[in-house]
Structure 1
């Protein structure tokens, strides 16, 4: 999988997880079963997005992770310094 696609899937997982959690918080007051299902769905979405990010967001040259604290897609690999 391309590292850029992995980054965007991670962002989509975060976005969907927040949406599901917001729905769980607002709907869960009146309907506990649906709120619980949406809570589990939000946690699962967040964890799956994070898992694929850790597995696939890697340099295509040296295969080391590209995860940085800045949160953007780097121009060059921080490990091998090759341009992505």
Structure 2
């Protein structure tokens, strides 16, 4: 999987998971089963984002896991080689 695609999937999973979990807490008038589904779905999305991050969001040169809390990076913070393909 390409690094940019892994980053996009990771960020979407994190954002959707957080939104789902917060929405489950905000919908107090909804049935309790709906709240549980939203909460567990949010937790599942957060776990999926973490797994994508640990498995695929790695430097293509040194294969170390890239930090998830940094913005868009041009170079690996560990080996200092460029993260983009030089084709």
RMSD of aligned alpha carbons: 1.6
In structure 1, list runs of 5 or more residues that go unmatched: none
* 1:80 alignment partner in structure 2: 79
Normalised by the length of structure 2, the TM-score is 0.81
- The runs of at least 4 consecutive aligned structure 1 residues that moved more than 2 Å come to 26-30
Normalised by the length of structure 1, the TM-score is 0.84
Alignment of 1:1-84 (within 5 A): 1-67=1-67, 69=69, 71-84=70-83
Using CA pairs below 8 Å that are at least 6 residues apart, which structure has the higher relative contact order? 1
In structure 2, list runs of 5 or more residues that go unmatched: none
Displacement of 1:18 in angstroms is 2.1
